[in-house]
Amino acid sequence: MVNKYLLERSLRSVWHPCTQMKQHELQPLVTIARGEGVWLYDFDGRRYLDAIGSWWVNLFGHANPQINAAIRDQLDRLEHVMLAGFTHEPVVELSERLGKLLSNKLGHCSYSCDGASAVEIALKMSFQYWYNSGHPEKNRFVSLQNDYHGETLGALSVTDVALFKDIYAPLLRPGTHVLTPDWRYASEGESGRDYALRAATALETYLQENHAVTAAFIVEPLIQGAAGMGMYHADYLKRARELCDRYQVHLIADEIAVGFGRTGTMFACEQADMVPDFLCLGKGLTAGYLPLSVVMTTDAVFSAFYHAETARAFLHSHTHAGNALACRAALATLDIFEQDNIIDTNRIKASYLNHAAHPIASHPRVKNFRNCGMIWAFEVETSDPDFSVNFFHAALKQELSLRPLGNTVYFMPPYIIDEHETDLLVAGTVRALDSC
């Protein structure tokens, strides 16, 4: 009865994100009472393995004792103070520790609350850098075909997902999208690396012709999330860094979804041995606990704003930027990475899941089974136009929370998932595939 009562109240009062609300007349919301570890529980005690990390954010499980304790401790000290004219210990320590993770090559942190807002900061900073440097003509942005960077207007301008973007086209700045390096688009017989380098040549051609008016190239490193977890070779990023340097164009790495170990290294850019001009981080930054995002950038960018004139400053703000509670959650998250050797441990877990997932990879309806770090994805051959919704509910019956992107099913489980839970995930996915 509690499930039903909460469902009715939610439908009356909550406008749920990324949702056609009318669909919930037939497909009920899933009411959640609590979480523990990799599991979510409803009010009747039914459980669901959170195999997508609650929209890619949960790294160390629900109700993690260490993060809980850090937030409780911070509650007795300071919950929030604005960062304009003030500072506090958690935001300073977090900024210092993030900088050290990048060998202090990105030593300046600007905070916000979500991924799209971080992308807005990076875009505006890049433009204003060139403006402050005497090049206001460098005001355009280029991104990848199929890239996703968020749903605010600036972020949508560099996004290439029609479902989110087309209706708002009259409100957006025109953007350019160059060939994606996603290896699913490679020609027959063409390796993923060769295709990535071919895509890099398309970027080179564009920059040759347009670098004088281009502020930045923004990219999702290694994995294009909303494109159905499109994966590509790290050599594309290495080549993109070289091209941006050559043509004096900023490189913005949007690691909102893939940062903090998701691709097998702390940051995806590490696999190309390169550092961007702007690094956008969010989601896993607080292990999914509290809204927090950050844009990290270089001394050179920071110096272009450092001036006696207020108009040359970066006049951009978010009320809860650098919130003290969120920063403590982020610090506890970094502590867990260090203390539990998470990156190395994840490699063992990824190897186990890859072996256990053979029944999925060999399923007759599955193609392009792929893995990068702690992300897995595959396409399902289907003629069902409602496959994503139907599979979601089929998975719930198997105690799994899975939310396909079109006909792409993906896993992004919390890093604490154990072998038994991995086996449950694989077996339940196979049964869901067989049922819809």
Residue 115 confidence (pLDDT): 97
- Find all residues with CB under 8 Å of 359, minimum gap 6, and list them: 426, 427, 430
Residue 4 confidence (pLDDT): 87
Handedness of CA 373, 375, 380, 385 (dihedral sign): negative
* 190-221 per-position pLDDT tens digit: 999 999 999 999 999 999 999 999 999 999 99
Q: How far apart are the first and last CA of the chain?
A: 29
User: If you count them, how many residues does the chain have?
Assistant: 436
* 60-105 per-position pLDDT tens digit: 999 999 999 999 999 999 999 999 999 999 999 999 999 999 999 9
Q: Is the distance from CB of 154 to CB of 124 less than 8 angstroms?
A: yes
Instruction: Work out whether strand 278-281 and strand 250-254 pair parallel, antiparallel, or are unpaired.
Output: parallel
CB burial readout 265-287, b (16+ within 10 A) else e: bbbbbbbbebbbbbbbbbbbbbb
Q: Which of 57, 69, 60, 3 lies closest to 36 in space, CA to CA?
A: 60
d(CA 226, CA 167): 18
Q: Which residues of the chain have pLDDT under 50?
A: none
Q: Which of 424, 329, 345 lies closest to 38 in space, CA to CA?
A: 424
Which position has the token pair 């402050």?
Answer: 132
Other CB atoms within a 10 A radius of the CB of residue 18 amount to 9
Residue 132 confidence (pLDDT): 98
d(CA 138, CA 131): 8
Q: Which of 326, 319, 218, 238 lies closest to 282 in space, CA to CA?
A: 326
Which position has the token pair 């202090």?
Answer: 104
| Cα 146 off chain centre by | 15
User: For residue 79, what are its two tokens?
Assistant: 């919950």
Q: Is the distance from CB of 335 to CB of 312 less than 8 angstroms?
A: no
Residue 3 confidence (pLDDT): 85
d(CA 193, CA 183): 8
276: left (phi over 0), alpha (psi -120 to 50) or beta: beta
